[in-house]
Amino acid sequence: MDFSLSTEEREIRDWVRTFIRREVMPYEQEVLRRERLGQPGLTADERRELQLKAKEAGFWGVQTPQEYGGMDLSATMSALLWAEAGRTFVPFAFGGEADNILYHGNDEQKQRYLLPTIAGERRSCFAITEPGAGSDAKAIRATARKDGGDWVINGEKTFITGGNEADFAMVFAVTDKAKGAGADGGVTCFLVDREMGWRSEPIDTMGEFSPAALIFEDVRVPESNVLGEVGGGFTLAMQWIGRGRYIIPARALGACERLLEMAVEHANTRETFGAPIAERQAIQWMIADSAVEIEALRWLVLHAAWQVDQGGWNSASRHLVSIAKLYGGVKANEIVDRVLQIHGGMGYTRELPIERWYRELRVARIYEGTDEIQRRTIARNLLKGHVKPTGAFG
């Protein structure tokens, strides 16, 4: 059993750490200022400039196959990378990426959607969640009916990440009402350009994360825009949902590391009653508990990503990813709460980014599968015998 990083892994991790510190973190105060005014944290030009700077060093398409110009990094290496990116709240992501299910497109679809998305010329969004169908993807009600050589889509999607900025959406709709929205062929995925007639409406949230509601009213989509096979949408949806779920706790890990560093520094410099608050047992216990939980989260994330590398998206990896997702969301919220408490009144102000992280990390317990869904998955795997309590050492 070897927990050390290879030379290549360490070099990649260190480069990303340096890049985030030198190029991305300097935007933090400006991002806070803009967001207080209701403006985007980064402009499209600023985000693109950062992505191109990273590209100059070879960081482009982190998980994009090499045949499409990407790095094709392993899940483990990607988790390490996103943990470093998570050390800042600046809304930055490396360029050269495309949704994994776009690779299922035919040659013509790849030319129109996949390649321009990788190049950064187009922006997509994944549209499956509905007002009455969140964690229960089988409950979607949006429909697509055949009309000549087209499909006509009606329905509404909600809480769609990137839906306000996207110029096309991967839309999941029921195409066979008799089969419904289950895994038995009732749902189809469509590539739907915004110019085909759908519209988006921003959803205001407690954080800076601004998802969208998408409205489809008799939107006509040609048969050539079916992604994959008619009736194969549910399988594609589950593949999309599963691919990056371990990235959420990875980013939370990076945020927690940064927050704990802030707490330690403040505890050593802030004095009360003639002594640093670092000497107070209450503060020491909050710091100690946070350090233990961060270490546990680190290995849960890396073990889950490692399992994805070993066997792909299977019952073992799904189980471990659910554990990492659940633990990461819960503990990130506990840790940011402690760090805010250690900072006292200053932590509650917008002079420091702690309150911003406080709001942002709350969504980690909701999107890409709520805490309750993760617990359901974990319990079901154990009760049905898909995994053993002994885990990898069974």
Distance of CA 286 to the CA centre of its chain: 28
pLDDT at 258 over 70: yes
Q: How far apart are CA 335 and CA 35, in angstroms?
A: 23
The percent of residues above 70 in pLDDT, for the chain, comes to 96
Per-residue pLDDT, 132? 79
250 within 8 A of 301, measured Cβ to Cβ: yes
Catalytic center residues: 368
The percent of residues above 90 in pLDDT, for the chain, comes to 79
pLDDT at 54 over 80: yes
pLDDT at 64 over 70: yes
Per the prediction, the chain carries an average pLDDT of 92
Per-residue pLDDT, 238? 81
Q: How far apart are CA 89 and CA 360, in angstroms?
A: 9
pLDDT at 138 over 90: no
Token pair of 45 as six digits: 């030009």
Per-residue pLDDT, 313? 72
Mean pLDDT of 202-207: 91
pLDDT at 37 over 70: yes
**CATH superfamily label, 244-393:** Butyryl-CoA Dehydrogenase, subunit A, domain 3 (1.20.140.10)
**Residue 392: pLDDT band by 50, 70, 90 thresholds?**
low
Between 135 and 361, the more confident residue is: 361
pLDDT at 143 over 90: yes
Between 124 and 3, the more confident residue is: 124
Per-residue pLDDT, 393? 64
Domain 7-97, CATH number (from 1.10.540.10, 1.10.10.60, 1.10.1370.30, 1.10.3720.10): 1.10.540.10
pLDDT tens per residue across span 306-325: 999 987 777 788 899 999 99
pLDDT tens per residue across span 99-127: 999 999 999 999 999 999 999 999 999 99
Q: Name 333's Cβ contacts closer than 8 Å, sequence gap at least 6.
A: 361, 362, 364, 365
3-state secondary structure the chain: CCCCCCHHHHHHHHHHHHHHHHHHHHHHHHHHHHHHCCCCCCCHHHHHHHHHHHHHCCCCCCCCCHHHCCCCCCHHHHHHHHHHHCCCCCCCCCCCCCCHHHHHCCHHHHHHHHHHHHCCCCCEEEECCECCECCCHHHCCCEEEEECCEEEEEEEEEEECCCCCCCEEEEEEECCCCCCCCCCCCEEEEEEEHHHCCEEEECCCCCCCCCEEEEEEEEEEEHHHEECCCCCHHHHHHHHHHHCCCHHHHHHHHHHHHHHHHHHHHHHHCEECCEEHHHCHHHHHHHHHHHHHHHHHHHHHHHHHHHHHHHCCCHHHHHHHHHHHHHHHHHHHHHHHHHHHHHCHHHHCCCCCHHHHHHHHHHHHCCCCCHHHHHHHHHHHHHCCCCCCCHHHC
**Residue 184: pLDDT band by 50, 70, 90 thresholds?**
low
Per-residue pLDDT, 181? 64
pLDDT at 394 over 80: no
Mean pLDDT of 287-303: 97
pLDDT at 135 over 80: no
Mean pLDDT of 272-294: 97
User: What predicted TM-score, i.e. pTM, was given to this entire model?
Assistant: 0.92
pLDDT at 167 over 90: yes
Please check whether the two domains, 7-97 and 124-231, share a CATH topology: no
Residue spans of the domains in the chain: they are: 7-97, 124-231, 244-393
Q: Which fold has domain 124-231?
A: Butyryl-CoA Dehydrogenase, subunit A; domain 2 (2.40.110)
Mean pLDDT of 236-240: 83
CA distances from 137 to 104, 127, 134, 189, 237 (A): 20, 11, 6, 13, 9
Q: How far apart are CA 204 and CA 34, in angstroms?
A: 16
